[in-house]
Structures are given as C-alpha cells and as structure tokens.
Amino acid sequence: MELRLVLGDQLNAAHSWFRTPDPAVCYLMAELRQETDYCRHHRQKVLAFFAAMRAFAAALGKAGHRVCYLTLDESTRWPDLPSLLTAQLEAHQADSFAWQSPDEWRLASQLQAWAASLAIPATEVESEHFLTPRDGWRRYPHSRMEFFYHALRKQYRVLLDERGQPLGGRWNFDAENRARLPASQPIPAPLTFANEVSDIDAMLTRHGVATIGEADASRLPWPISRRQSRELLAHFLAHCLPHFGRYQDALSERGWSLFHSRLSFSLNSKMLHPLEVIRAAEAHWQANQGTITLAQVEGFIRQILGWREFVRALYWEQMPDYRRSNFLGAERPLPGFFWSGETNMACVRHAIRQSLDHAYAHHIQRLMVTGNFALLAGIAPDEVDAWYLGIYVDAIEWVELPNTRGMSQFADGGLMGSKPYASSGAYLERMGHYCKGCHYQVKARSGDGSCPFNSLYWHFLWRNRDKLGSNPRLALPYANWDGQAAEQQHAILATAEQYLIQLEQL
C-alpha cells in the first residue's frame, strides 16, 4: 500500500498519478486547521478551497481511485499535517509514501523534514502544472519579467510567426492596454456559480474558524470543479477577451470584474492548466480576428505566461529570506479601514469593500489603489502581506508574496520591478471615475481636503531619497520635486505628516 498526499491546491485531474486506478494506492486529502489558521482568510476562500477539494475527491472516487478524505470534523484530532500523516500511514498500513511538490515554502519544508524521518520509502514528485521548473529563475533570463516572457513565448511557440518572431512585430502591447473605461462601454455580466456549501459553512462556524469578508453559503460564486472552471474560461473568451487588453488597467465602480477572467482561483488550485488556458485564448483569437485584436490576447497571455511563471521562479529562488525583506524600512501598522472599508478615499473604499464582498479585486485595484496607498503610507510589509494573503480567493503565498512585497511594496529593493509602483491621485483620476464624487480634491496637492495620494506621494519620494534617488526611472519625479518652490514643498510635506498622524481617519 502506498499512501499519496494531495494538497488543496493540487486538484490537477491530468496528473500522471491519476491515469490508471491502482488498488495498491490510496490518495489522502484533508481539511486542516493548519491551513485555515496560518492567516485569517476570506470566508469565500476557505469555502471555495474545501468545496473544490471535496469535488475533486468525489471525482477521483468516481474514476475508480481509492480515496481517503478527512473533513475538518475528522482531522481536528491532529494538531498539524505531519501528525495527521503519521497516523494515516499507520491506519492504512502503508509501506511507502508519496507527495507532490508543494508550491509554498512553508509546506515544502514541513513535508521534507517529516518525510526524512520516515522508516519507509518516501517519494516527492512534480505537480506537473507549471511551465517552468522550480529553479526557473536560473534557467531563464531573469533580470526582468519581459525577458523571461520572451523566452517562454519562444519555447512554447505562443503568438509567433513561422520565423519564430512575435506576431505583429512586437512582444508586448502594454502601451495599448491602458485605456480608461468609457461610460458608454457595455460591461458583460460576470459568470458566477451557485454552489451550495452550507454544510461547510456550518462546519467552519462549529470549529470557530476565524474568517473575514462576506459569503452566501447557498450560492458560492466561485468554480469548484474542472467543469465549472472550463465554463468560466469559455465565458471569458466569448464575452471578455474582445476588450480585455484595452481595459485591463481601468478602474470603475460599474462592475466588480469588468473584462477580467477571474480564472486565477482555478489556475492556482490547478483545476486548469496554464498552457490549456493560453492555447484556448490563442485559438479563440485566431478564429475571431475580426472582433479581437492581437493586443487583447497578448495582454491576457502575458499575465499567465509572463507574470505568473516569473513570480513563481522568483519566489523559489529567494525564499525563505524574501518574506523578511523590507528595503524601505516601512513600519506603520495597517489602518483599520483595510478590514472594514470605512474610509473617505473613494477609490480605496471601493477596492476594499469589493474585496470584502467578493474576495476579489483585479490587479490594478490591488497594485495601484490599496497597494499604492500602503506603499506611500509606509505600512509594514508583514501586515500588507497578511492582508493580501487572506482576503483574496486566489492568494497562495508563492504568487501573493512577490506581487505584494516585491512589486507592490518594493520591499525587495527591485527584484520584481525596476521602480516602485507609486503614483499620486493623477493616475487614479486618469484610470477611473472615483475622484468626481470623492471627499478629497484630486487637484489639490496640499491642505485640508487635498487628495492623500498627492502629498503622500511626494512625502514617499522625499523620505526615501537616499534609497531611490539614484533610480533612473525616478529621475523625472525627483526633478519635478526639486523644481517646486520651497513654500510648496513645505506645504506638501506638512500635509503628508498630518495625514500620516491621522491615518486611521482618512
């Protein structure tokens, strides 16, 4: 008997393990307090993962595999994963153990340390999901995502002509993918599901699992099976891809998903394979070039083939030290309104409330609204990480940490991005529609009622000049600052200092 562990984000039906049922193999899956409690998760996130795990276990059983599934009710007698595994090896009288490589460093190190103590054979196998290996940072051009992305485009022959050159003569159409959403542009209704998970919800309540956010357990909207995940992919291709690239950076209160695919939960739980999604998008574009431009599909594919693989490679190259990086020395606590949405800043209020309601926000809301504010205010990266890791349904540390601590907070000193993603209110006004009805005045740089993003932006550059002043990509902002009159500089910094003191009341 071999006992094989399947983690909650390893729901890959195409894995070679599952090709042929073997009566001498038992697949173990378990809902664990260790996983519900390592950070405070959004309730929809816990519900979605447990529901998807149960659906996957049922599918394995239906396909003829032997499965041992432990609910939270059954697993709570063991304090952690190693103690549970030790007990299950004995209960099943297993003479070997196998597990797929975890994607989080904490689980990988925990399992390796435990397996090393076993007296029976223990084998670690690949998860067979990613397009690059764990050491991809060393195998591919890694100084910037763009070079990494080019290499993978060539390797997998994505959007290339017969000579191996990028279609359209360009690798990247990002310059065409930054449009503000016009009021006249129709937005497709998001495809959601009505998964009944009241039994799981009651179980979480029974065990006192602390969560954040809102959830309707009678209509969980996230896909919990491969079938539903493929339905969501088909919906995106048909209704959202025609405008995805153009409006992928747009900010709007008119919809909570706009033209975004919302496939990240299905991808990160491995119900969908990244190459499957990429090939489907490429094929759909080729068949619909009259209605979908190259810029739309390239912008989408870059998120998966470029950023997703790049951040994972960086994660495994830099861990475990990466999670302690704090290049800018940020130390302020996260304001309480990140947990409630009770703030007068319209853009921040909308992004946080949407996150609490839906366990979702698109990448610009995460990067340039909540992340930008945390960066400008000097919030401690540990607290920012915990918030992002908990609140989003797709958040797993390998993808959350580089995007938050690196790209958003510049705590890694420039490994993820060549400059901090900091902006004043002008960017938010350009990309969205919040400013018109906001409590604050986006055109005012200082004084009562001025947009906090304005004075905090200049204060951020001013206080971090010793670390950022030599960055060539910040030469223009620093020149702008130096060109301002001393009185104006003093007023801006004084306003920022007051806002930082009153951070909880903004």
Residue 18 has pLDDT above 80, yes or no: yes
User: What's the pLDDT score for residue 177?
Assistant: 83
Class of domain 336-505 as given by CATH: mainly alpha
Q: How many residues does the chain have?
A: 506
Neighbours of 260 (CB within 10 A): 23
Contacts of 321 (CB under 8 A, 6+ apart): none
Choose among 212, 500, 501, 478: nearest CA to 373.
Answer: 500
pLDDT in tens, 67-104: 999 999 999 999 999 999 999 999 999 999 999 999 99
Q: What is the CA radius of gyration of the chain?
A: 24
User: What's the pLDDT score for residue 176?
Assistant: 85
User: What's the pLDDT score for residue 143?
Assistant: 75
Rounded-to-integer distance, Cα 44 and Cα 52, Å: 12
Residues 464-484 have a mean pLDDT of: 96
For residue 42, give the DSSP letter.
B
Residue 196 has pLDDT above 80, yes or no: yes
Q: Report the topology of domain 135-309.
A: 1.25.40
pLDDT in tens, 113-170: 999 999 999 999 999 999 999 999 988 887 788 999 999 999 999 999 999 999 999 9
pLDDT in tens, 266-300: 999 999 999 999 999 999 999 999 999 999 999 99
User: What's the pLDDT score for residue 142?
Assistant: 76
User: What's the pLDDT score for residue 504?
Assistant: 96
Residue 174 has pLDDT above 90, yes or no: no
Of 173-177, 186-190, 218-222, 459-463, where does mean pLDDT reach its minimum?
173-177
Domain ranges of the chain: 2-125, 135-309, 336-505
- β-sheet bridge partners, residue 3: 26, 97
pLDDT in tens, 309-355: 999 999 999 999 999 999 999 999 999 999 999 999 999 999 999 99
Residues 165-183 have a mean pLDDT of: 91
pLDDT in tens, 365-399: 999 999 999 999 999 999 999 999 999 999 999 99
What's the distance, Cα to Cα, between the start and end of the chain in Å?
60
Choose among 282, 231, 287: nearest CA to 261.
Answer: 231
Contacts of 176 (CB under 8 A, 6+ apart): 245, 246, 295
For the chain, how long is the longest CA-to-CA vector?
A: 79
Decide the pairing of beta strands 122-125 and 66-70.
unpaired
As a whole-number percent, the residues of the chain with pLDDT over 90 amount to 96
Sheet with 122-125: strands ordered across: 66-70, 25-30, 2-5, 96-100, 122-125
As a whole-number percent, the residues of the chain with pLDDT over 70 amount to 100
Q: What is the CATH number of domain 2-125?
A: 3.40.50.620
User: What's the pLDDT score for residue 370?
Assistant: 98
